[in-house]
Structure 1
Amino acid sequence: MELHVGVDSEKTVVSAYPLRSRSGRIRRTRVGTLVETSPCAPSGRTLEQRVVFAARVALPLLFVSAVAAAFGFSWWLAAAGSAGLVGYVWRRQARAAQIAAFAVPRDEALPQAERARVLWTAAERTAFDGALASSRRVRATWPALAGMVDPVLADRSLTRALDELATVLGRRQELRRLRADLSGVEVADIPVDSPARAAVIEQAERADALWRETGAAADRILASIETAARAGESFLRERQVAATARYAERTLARVTGTPAAAESGPELADRTEAVIAAYRDLAV
């Protein structure tokens, strides 16, 4: 299972399939089963600069075409190849000058579980961006946690957690809009025993219940990722402090001539349980 994540200035796209750009250029960074796709900064080349560059490319190509024609090669074939190359260079430069934005995947034919989730609202985007940042912190601790954490299983659990979070936030985004629509319905002038009024109130209550349910689910996933990040980072910091304490003890023993006490630095064996427990919660 792969998860492709793209964040531009207007939206966050989470998909099981590679993302495409609507404009500008993008670059992909793969870490395990997570592929982060980020926009490239515009080149800043103006139209005049692009015209000048294309002309500089075209002139030597015209010369080569003329030489080829003089030696009996088909001039129109050489000219067509030169024109195609100049057009390719022009298109590349024009795209590089644009502000990058991801295309919204058209995957209506796919099953609901495989469709891309597109987050537009600021609150949901902020929550997912925070989880993505925490996941980077989690992955950064894995090299130092060799033997404690299986990086393959941990990678799958972390990617699955991000995928589930994107699904929950997508539902929450829709519920946000629905609740706003329902709150705008005026029922004060409708009779109390009206079926329409009762239906609106019932749907509003259902929407509120789902809102609380998705909020709790999102908080649980966010907390599990953050807990795993903090547990790993705390363990690494404590191990560094223990190493410093042992080094200081050996140095002082050498200076004073007093034998060093064995294993007098902080004991870390019990701390491994916290790290392992955090990854167990992440996998649930």
Structure 2
Amino acid sequence: MTQVEAELHIGIDAEKVVVSPHRLRMRTGRAHRSRAGLVLEVVPAAPSGRSRESRVAIVWQLGLGLLICCVVLNAFGLPWLVPALVSASVVVLVGWAQARAARPGVLASPRGDDGHVLRAREERIAYERAVAVSHRIRRTWPALRGMIDPAEADHTLTRALEQLAALLARRQQIRALRDELIEAARQELPADSPAAEALAAQRTRVEELWRETGLTANRMLRGIAAAAHAGETLLREQEIGRTARDAEMAISRLAAVGAAAPAEAGPELAERTAAVVKAYRELAAF
């Protein structure tokens, strides 16, 4: 039985990054969805810009048109109840869709432990950069199809993005706890206070976790960037190699044409012209 690869859904809006194994929903607004292998990216669509007055006018015009259709059906003796109910549903649906399109798009946070939400600016920027680098990696795969297995590479890259999201979410929690402990340490307490000693011990432990997660995150980010650099470097080398081979073939053809070419006619014409002019002058002298 074939194993189904797990998808990864990544959403980025103005206030957070959401990473989840499940389909992402919008809290408000609409979204643009795009797929790249096992990764499905969700980006909020721009608001429609229609004012409430404009939306109400459109709904009224639509409702009036549907009402006229129902009246015409009734005049011809046709059933009108079902068309009237359908028309009312259409009017409500169009009004709801327009109101949703007019609002800025905001992603809904996943429920429970179904995903990771990055709200801190530093973690958001780091993950967004990693997603951008993953696009560069994927662009190299078509030219490297004979050297790598795209399906395996897609699975590995998707797993790396999921692991990075989990690590950055953990680091975000450590950041909040670290800031809380720093703020608590500003309170004046006696040096021999048990509370001060406990606080110092916890701050030491938090700083260790902070350094560990920072080193791990940097290592993962460098690994993703190195994969993109390696693929792009290989593509450039292949392109330069093709250019060199094409140039070698062109130079060989040009050299062969030059070797087989007849004697240059320009110098010969100049010599003959000079001889004719000389002979003419000698005849004119007599």
TM-score interval, normalised by the smaller of the two chains: 0.7 to 0.9
User: RMSD of aligned C-alpha atoms?
Assistant: 1.6
Give the letter aligned to residue 14 of structure 2: S
Give the letter aligned to residue 119 of structure 2: W
Q: If the length of structure 1 is used for normalisation, what is the TM-score?
A: 0.85
- Pairwise mapping of residues 136-175 of structure 1 onto structure 2 (< 5 A)? 136-175=135-174
> In structure 1, what is the Cα distance between the partners aligned to 2:136 and 2:225?
9
> In structure 1, what is the Cα distance between the partners aligned to 2:191 and 2:243?
73
State yes or no: 1:68 paired with 2:73: yes
Give the match for residue 106 of structure 2: 101
> In structure 1, what is the Cα distance between the partners aligned to 2:168 and 2:110?
18
State yes or no: 1:20 paired with 2:19: no
Shift of 1:58: 1.5
Give the conservation status (yes or no) of the 8 Å contact 1:187–1:197. Answer: no
Could you say which structure has the larger radius of gyration? 2
Give the letter aligned to residue 74 of structure 2: A
Give the conservation status (yes or no) of the 8 Å contact 1:168–1:218. Answer: yes
Give the match for residue 252 of structure 2: 253
> In structure 2, what is the Cα distance between the partners aligned to 1:90 and 1:190?
61
Give the conservation status (yes or no) of the 8 Å contact 2:116–2:169. Answer: yes
Aligned residues: 253
Give the letter aligned to residue 125 of structure 1: R
Give the match for residue 236 of structure 1: 235
Shift of 1:223: 0.7
Shift of 1:194: 2.2
Give the match for residue 96 of structure 2: 91
2:49 equivalent among 44, 52, 56 = 44
Change (3 A) 1:62 1:175: same
Secondary structure in 2 matching 1:43? coil
Secondary structure in 2 matching 1:184? helix
- Pairwise mapping of residues 182-193 of structure 1 onto structure 2 (< 5 A)? 182-186=181-185, 189-193=188-192
Secondary structure in 2 matching 1:196? helix
Give the conservation status (yes or no) of the 8 Å contact 2:137–2:227. Answer: yes
Secondary structure in 2 matching 1:29? strand
State yes or no: 1:80 paired with 2:85: yes
Give the match for residue 59 of structure 1: 64
Give the conservation status (yes or no) of the 8 Å contact 1:135–1:225. Answer: yes
For residues 192-249 of structure 1, what are the alpha-carbon distances to aligned partners after superposition, in whole Å with 9 as ceiling and x for unaligned? 3322111111111111000111111111111111000000001001110111111111
Shift of 1:76: 3.7
State yes or no: 1:5 paired with 2:4: no
- Pairwise mapping of residues 189-204 of structure 1 onto structure 2 (< 5 A)? 189-204=188-203
Give the match for residue 129 of structure 2: 130
For residues 132-190 of structure 1, what are the alpha-carbon distances to aligned partners after superposition, in whole Å with 9 as ceiling and x for unaligned? 00100000100000111111110011000000000010011111111111011146642
Give the conservation status (yes or no) of the 8 Å contact 1:2–1:33. Answer: yes
For residues 77-123 of structure 1, what are the alpha-carbon distances to aligned partners after superposition, in whole Å with 9 as ceiling and x for unaligned? 332221110110111111111110101122x2xxx5xx211000110
Give the conservation status (yes or no) of the 8 Å contact 2:185–2:199. Answer: no
Query: Tell me, which stretches of 5 or more residues in structure 1 are unaligned?
Result: 259-284
Give the letter aligned to residue 79 of structure 1: A
> In structure 2, what is the Cα distance between the partners aligned to 1:212 and 1:6?
28
> In structure 1, what is the Cα distance between the partners aligned to 2:40 and 2:100?
22
Query: Tell me, which stretches of 5 or more residues in structure 2 are unaligned?
Result: 1-5, 258-286
Secondary structure in 1 matching 2:184? coil
Give the letter aligned to residue 5 of structure 1: I
Q: If the length of structure 2 is used for normalisation, what is the TM-score?
A: 0.85
Q: Percent identity?
A: 46
Give the conservation status (yes or no) of the 8 Å contact 1:43–1:96. Answer: yes
Give the conservation status (yes or no) of the 8 Å contact 1:3–1:15. Answer: yes
> In structure 2, what is the Cα distance between the partners aligned to 1:62 and 1:188?
71
Deviating runs (4+, > 3 A) in structure 1?
A: 71-77, 186-189
Give the match for residue 205 of structure 2: 206
Give the match for residue 274 of structure 2: none
